[in-house]
Amino acid sequence: MKPTPLHAANPGPYTGDGNWTYLIPGERPVLIDAGVGNAAHLDAIGAAAPAGPADVIVTHAHSDHASGAPAIRGRWPAAGLTKMPWPERDGDVPWQSLADGDTVMTDSGSLEVLHTPGHSPDHIALWHAESRTVFVGDLLQLGTTVFIPASSGGSLSEYLASLERLRHLSPVRAWPAHGPVIEDPMALIHYYLDHRRQREEQVLAALADGLATVEAITDRIYTNLAQALLPMAHESVLAHLVKLEGESKARGAEALWVLRR
Ligand SMILES: [Zn+2]
């Protein structure tokens, strides 16, 4: 598997350097993730695949991955637009739907669709069994952890299950939507699992000390956090609390949280 990375030309406060999309070349080029429709991205797609992609497979509905789909269809009307459904977020794009276990054919072999929810409910990864490599969207990103938007479709329990699922496949390389290619995805997955376990211990300790709100727990755990990052930290703490509630270890009511014993 030798995809051509194509940058979506969308740097910004939420996307960092911006998104990577990947073109798998051939007679039936397949583009993974749609970017945001920037002209520079469309030109790069056109340079790599003059007749346009036969299929655009979108890893999830977040706008930096999906919102460029209509612009791609606008330039290449035959391009198929495909993703796992998330009806509240999919807008009026005529998506063809993908399900877990589906196969995507490319000129470099077939990709298996892995439903990997957690960062979003519709998130998929694409597994190339032949090379044990995987397109991971926002499931993994070097140099940071992945944001779990607990109030808008994120689930830490599901995310951890998705990491475990990927871990069992022992991938040797992962192509992420943000940041450089991940040459040792297993090390990153182990780091992520450890990191979340440590965070959970911190949240449990804060609850045990009587801290009851997301804000108070966040202040305890995230010291020296830039003000602009506070909303994301709140969501991360909430993601832990919701997970603990699902495991009957904590209980939340009226935005006040307590340990369950
Ligand atoms: Zn995302």
Chain center to CA of 72:
21
Q: What kind of fold does domain 197-259 have according to CATH?
A: Arc Repressor Mutant, subunit A (1.10.10)
User: Which of 43, 243, 67 is closest to 150 using CA atoms?
Assistant: 243
pLDDT, tens digit (0-9, with 9 covering 90-100), for 210-225: 999 999 999 999 998 9
pLDDT of the residue at 254: 86
Distance (Å) from CA 195 to ligand 1 centroid: 20
**Domain residue ranges of the chain, discontinuous segments joined by +:** 4-183, 197-259
- Checking ipTM against 0.90, whether it exceeds it is yes
Distance (Å) from CA 34 to ligand 1 centroid: 12
Distance (Å) from CA 47 to ligand 1 centroid: 26
pLDDT of the residue at 12: 83
User: Which of 167, 135, 115, 127 is closest to 65 using CA atoms?
Assistant: 135
**Strands 30-32 and 173-176: what pairing?**
unpaired
Distance (Å) from CA 58 to ligand 1 centroid: 11
pLDDT, tens digit (0-9, with 9 covering 90-100), for 15-55: 778 999 999 999 999 999 999 999 999 999 999 999 999 99
Distance (Å) from CA 54 to ligand 1 centroid: 24
Residue 249's pLDDT band, with cuts at 50, 70 and 90, is very high
User: Which of 129, 199, 189 is closest to 159 using CA atoms?
Assistant: 189
Distance (Å) from CA 151 to ligand 1 centroid: 14
Residue 91's pLDDT band, with cuts at 50, 70 and 90, is very high
Distance (Å) from CA 121 to ligand 1 centroid: 10
Distance (Å) from CA 208 to ligand 1 centroid: 32
Beta-sheet strands, E only, within the chain: 4-7, 20-24, 30-32, 55-57, 80-83, 96-97, 103-106, 109-115, 124-128, 133-137, 173-176, 250-253, 256-259
CA atoms within 13 A on the CB side of 208: 8
pLDDT of the residue at 15: 73
- Tell me 148's DSSP state: -
Q: Indicate if the pLDDT at residue 176 is higher than 80.
A: yes
- Give the CATH number of domain 4-183; options: 3.90.209.20, 3.40.50.450, 3.40.50.170, 3.60.15.10: 3.60.15.10
Amino acid (one-letter) located at 56: V
- Residues whose CB is less than 8 angstroms from the CB of residue 184 and which lie 6 or more positions away in sequence, other chains included: none
Average pLDDT, integer, range 127-156: 96
Distance (Å) from CA 28 to ligand 1 centroid: 26
- Inter-helix orientation angle 185-208/156-169, to 10°: 150
Q: Indicate if the pLDDT at residue 162 is higher than 90.
A: yes
